[in-house]
Structure 1
Amino acid sequence: MNNNLKKIVVENSDEIVKNWLEEVSKNRSNDYTSAISDELFQSTNREFVNVIFTSVDQQGITTELDDFSERLINLGWPLSYLTEGLQAFRRVTIDYILSQTEKVDSEYFANVLVMVDKWVEPIITQLVNEYSGSWEHTVSLQRVALQELSAPLIPVMENITIMPLIGTIDTERAKLIMENLLDGVIKHNAEVVLIDITGVPIVDTMVAHHIIQAAEAVRLIGSTCILVGIRPEIAQTIVNLGIDLGRFPTKSSLRKGFQTALELTNRRIVKSDDSEESIERLLDSLNKE
């Protein structure tokens, strides 16, 4: 029975393909494929159905199916295109097989359903696994990228680095901040590190505790940590919570913190009063020449 059903499908593949293409094109104007060119849509559909028939003919997952799904993943086509296409293939194939028999009893109908399911289900499973693996890989890469961006350490001058923090700070991120701070201080030979919390919306006991731990760790390896970006509401919260930040310098702005960092590294900003006069003398000398 199964071989007979398979023979019907394979020998009449052209008719089934025609019906399938009509089926998948019905709702095109209402979904994501409406933005795809007709040429690309039709060529992709034909390749898809050919891959399906190859899998049916060889009774298993093929390299053609793996290659096709990988290309669609790289092009950004959603998994729903594949699953809906396979469900359409299931419906069209069952209808065609039943139309070739004058008398359909319950046993024959059940055999048709089971046979077509055996063709379609392994393909759906394989495609879902392919997409899931790709999504997990993409999410993993995005997570790493976000972690790198969530606690950057920027060397702005010899022996001075800045770590700007934006967003909430949880335990996992606090651990990353600690690791980046210690690695960066050693890597950049930093004497002073400025932690800028201007972009941190809430500083509670837990956040303050993590910051204190990070600053203390920096101090233990011979550097100084300056906390900058202390807004009035943050200062009030810290006082109300009874948090002691007296172990290291704090400043209201990054500018003031940077000035302190310069002083700690035996440097200062000097404004030259005769800068304009010097420029004029230089221009005069160039004109004479």
Structure 2
Amino acid sequence: MKNELQYLGETILKNKGFIAQEIHEKRFAEVSMTSSEQKAFQQIEQQIIKIRADFVALFGEALVDSSDIHKANDKVRIWGEKTGQYIFGLGVPLDEALKDTSYYRSGIWQHLKEEVMKNNLSARIVFELISIIDPLMDKAVHDFSLTYVKEFQRSLESAKTSFLELSVPVVPLVPGVGVLPLIGNMDTERAHLLMEETLKQAGKLELTHLVLDISGVLIVDTMVADQLFKVIGALSLIGVKTIITGIRPEVAQTIVTLGLDLNHITVKANLHQAFKEIQLIKNL
């Protein structure tokens, strides 16, 4: 049986290019592309075919060395991780990429079927092929999908971080003076970034005064107020005086209800009043 499996594996390795090309042509026979998409695809088509051929070869190698299934699993895992990263980088949706699975199954099995029939191999060999080919195919799908999802999550986290950084914009107005307009809701993650980015930008811009405008903050609760107080306290430690502006009536009511003490914090109704306060302080 081992010699027969080796023979079948060797025929797959020998014909991997042909099998890969056949799978590739069937896969894209019904895919509709615009002229620009076709042009872009032609630039990577040979690389895609090579990836297919390398994948087909993994099954040939598994049959040639059927006694070491762990080695075959490791090779499939490496292929899945590498290809998952590559396909994600191309921007191909996961569900679209996974459509290849059925083409690989049918392509490889069609070749094996022809060889089994041509050489009149036993049903036992067929069952042995099933026990090797199908689990490897399933593992390849799992490893590919897992890597693709991890890359997707990493991309989301990167985009979220970039968005959060943009949501803490310290804008320099005149030398030593900046304004930080806060807009939207404040969650724990954004609050943490608020402290980090504000201190960083205040030092970078050599600020002496920062106007913290919260007219765009929808909700001010205990957590938000506590974080704002911490930011103001940290800024004071590096020599930056903070003025809060834009407290809307409903927010003011919430602050009073929560019993928050703003006596030690400079509060002005708007930016204009804050700038007048800064000019007054600087003229003293």
Task: Structure 1 unaligned segments of length 5 or more: list them.
Answer: 268-289
The change in CA–CA distance for 1:184 and 1:7 in structure 2 (over 3 A counts) is closer
The Cα offsets for residues 31-70 of structure 1, whole Å up to 9 and x where unpaired, read as x999842863965653443232344455554999877665
Distance apart, 1:191 and its partner CA? 2.0
**Which of the numbers 224, 227, 232 marks the counterpart of 1:215?**
232
Distance, in Å, in 2 between the alignment partners of 1:69 and 1:185 is 42
The change in CA–CA distance for 1:237 and 1:69 in structure 2 (over 3 A counts) is closer
Structure 2 letter corresponding to 1:6: G
Distance apart, 1:71 and its partner CA? 4.5
The change in CA–CA distance for 1:171 and 1:148 in structure 2 (over 3 A counts) is same
Q: Which residue of 1 aligns with 2:273?
A: 256
**Which of the numbers 151, 160, 163 marks the counterpart of 1:134?**
151
Distance apart, 1:202 and its partner CA? 0.9
**Which of the numbers 70, 73, 95 marks the counterpart of 2:88?**
73
TM-score computed with the length of structure 2 as normaliser: 0.73
Distance, in Å, in 1 between the alignment partners of 2:135 and 2:189 is 46
Distance apart, 1:200 and its partner CA? 1.2
Distance, in Å, in 2 between the alignment partners of 1:35 and 1:134 is 26
**Which of the numbers 17, 21, 27 marks the counterpart of 1:24?**
27
The change in CA–CA distance for 1:259 and 1:51 in structure 2 (over 3 A counts) is farther
Higher relative contact order (CA 8 A, sep 6+): 2
The change in CA–CA distance for 1:129 and 1:193 in structure 2 (over 3 A counts) is same
Distance, in Å, in 2 between the alignment partners of 1:248 and 1:68 is 56
Contact 2:94 2:148 in 1 (8 A): yes
Distance apart, 1:142 and its partner CA? 2.4
Provide the secondary structure at the position in 1 that maps to 2:243: strand
Distance apart, 1:88 and its partner CA? 1.9
Contact 1:228 1:253 in 2 (8 A): yes
The change in CA–CA distance for 1:25 and 1:222 in structure 2 (over 3 A counts) is closer
Provide the secondary structure at the position in 1 that maps to 2:214: strand
Q: Which residue of 1 aligns with 2:38?
A: 37
**Which of the numbers 64, 86, 98 marks the counterpart of 2:113?**
98
Q: How many residues align?
A: 265
Q: Which residue of 1 aligns with 2:253?
A: 236
The change in CA–CA distance for 1:170 and 1:71 in structure 2 (over 3 A counts) is closer
The change in CA–CA distance for 1:194 and 1:51 in structure 2 (over 3 A counts) is same
Q: For 1:174-213, what aligned pairs fall within 5 Å after superposition? A: 174-213=191-230
Distance apart, 1:195 and its partner CA? 0.9
Structure 1 letter corresponding to 2:129: V
Q: Which residue of 2 aligns with 1:155?
A: 172
Distance apart, 1:76 and its partner CA? 1.5
Distance apart, 1:89 and its partner CA? 0.7
Work out which of the two has the higher radius of gyration on C-alpha atoms and give 1 or 2: 1
Distance, in Å, in 1 between the alignment partners of 2:84 and 2:221 is 48
Provide the secondary structure at the position in 2 that maps to 1:250: strand
The Cα offsets for residues 161-218 of structure 1, whole Å up to 9 and x where unpaired, read as 1122122112332222223333333333322111111221111222122212222332
Task: Structure 2 unaligned segments of length 5 or more: list them.
Answer: 63-71
The change in CA–CA distance for 1:171 and 1:67 in structure 2 (over 3 A counts) is closer
Distance, in Å, in 2 between the alignment partners of 1:178 and 1:49 is 49
Q: Which residue of 2 aligns with 1:116?
A: 133
Q: What is the Cα-based RMSD across aligned positions, in Å?
A: 3.7
